[in-house]
């Protein structure tokens, strides 16, 4: 066998691996773009989005766009999305961490075609639980349906009694939603591809790694609404 052919065969697995990593990174960047679009659309809805008081106190925000229900398994759900957390020491937001949500019960809206899920983590306990390899919604962390409206009266009560507030949008209807029994976990393969090396969710969400330039669209979108409210309080 000629030397060139031998080298080509030896390099083929490496090239295929790099191509797969590139595709995963591109898919994750696209998911970040879609998540930013979902959040922007929700917050631009007149008087019917996530209250500004909730966003001001949020420790983390996660978005699972176009979550699906598996028709052949009653109640089964699956979705991929991203999450960002506030930097506890320096302010601002972390880079996005790729997430998966699987199983569980998500209230009446889930299953009506594709559903966008938004969850807002309200305290440091909930934030640190999200940094674990996997946790069960409603079991490892308390969750309640989030209040609606720009200045909802339920803000204070919600922030005092829940670690996570959950919302869903299906068929154009945005509402607080209950979550029970679902698991949230980091997507390690997508994160490794996005950041170009093995990286833990804790490293990402605590701001120890610099996100790719294209990944900042989500935090820019979130800041647009948080800063607008803070400036006018």
Q: What is the arithmetic mean of pLDDT over 197-209?
A: 91
What pLDDT is recorded for position 84?
Answer: 95
Q: What is the arithmetic mean of pLDDT over 40-68?
A: 85
Q: What does DSSP say about strands 164-170 and 143-145: parallel, antiparallel, or unpaired?
A: parallel
* CA–CA distance, 160 with 185 (Å, rounded to integer): 25
Q: Of 31 and 227, which is predicted with more confidence?
A: 31
What pLDDT is recorded for position 17?
Answer: 45
Q: What is the arithmetic mean of pLDDT over 39-64?
A: 86
**172 pLDDT exceeds 90?**
no
What pLDDT is recorded for position 36?
Answer: 95
What pLDDT is recorded for position 166?
Answer: 87
pLDDT-derived band at 73, boundaries 50, 70, 90: very low
pLDDT-derived band at 19, boundaries 50, 70, 90: low
Assign 198 to helix, strand or coil.
coil
**98 pLDDT exceeds 90?**
yes
Identify the residue whose tokens are 């990174």: 25
**233 pLDDT exceeds 90?**
no
Q: Is 77 left (phi over 0), alpha (psi -120 to 50) or beta?
A: beta
**75 pLDDT exceeds 90?**
no
What pLDDT is recorded for position 135?
Answer: 76
Q: Of 161 and 230, which is predicted with more confidence?
A: 161
Q: Of 32 and 177, which is predicted with more confidence?
A: 32
Q: What is the pTM of this model?
A: 0.82
What pLDDT is recorded for position 35?
Answer: 95
* CA–CA distance, 185 with 131 (Å, rounded to integer): 8
* CA–CA distance, 35 with 194 (Å, rounded to integer): 16
What pLDDT is recorded for position 199?
Answer: 94
pLDDT-derived band at 109, boundaries 50, 70, 90: very low
Buried b (16+ CB within 10 A) or exposed e, 142-161: ebbbbbbeeebebbeebbee
* C-alpha distances in Å from residue 183, one per residue of 32, 141, 180, 223: 20, 11, 9, 28
Closest CA to 152 of 107, 120, 116, 112: 120
């Amino acid at each position: 066998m000629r030397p060139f052919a031998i080298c080509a065969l030896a390099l083929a697995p490496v090239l295929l691996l790099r191509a797969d990593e590139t595709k995963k990174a591109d898919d994750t960047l696209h998911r970040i773009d879609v998540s930013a679009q979902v959040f922007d659309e929700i917050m631009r809805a007149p008087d019917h989005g996530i209250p500004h008081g909730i966003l001001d106190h949020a420790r983390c925000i996660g978005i699972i766009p176009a979550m699906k229900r598996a028709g052949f398994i009653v109640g089964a759900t699956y979705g991929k999305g991203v999450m960002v957390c506030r930097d506890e020491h320096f302010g601002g937001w972390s880079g996005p961490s790729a997430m998966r949500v699987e199983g569980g019960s998500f209230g009446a809206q889930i299953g009506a075609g594709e559903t966008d899920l938004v969850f807002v983590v309200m305290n440091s306990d909930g934030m640190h639980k999200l940094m674990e390899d996997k946790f069960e919604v409603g079991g490892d962390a308390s969750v309640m349906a989030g209040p609606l409206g720009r200045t909802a009266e339920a803000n204070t009560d919600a922030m005092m009694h829940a670690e996570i507030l959950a919302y869903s949008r299906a068929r154009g209807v945005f509402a607080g939603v209950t979550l029970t029994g679902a698991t949230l976990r980091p997507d390690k393969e997508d994160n490794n591809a996005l950041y170009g090396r093995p990286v833990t969710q804790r490293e990402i969400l605590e701001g120890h790694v610099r996100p790719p330039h294209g990944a900042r669209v989500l935090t820019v979108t979130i800041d647009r609404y948080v800063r607008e409210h803070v400036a006018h309080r």
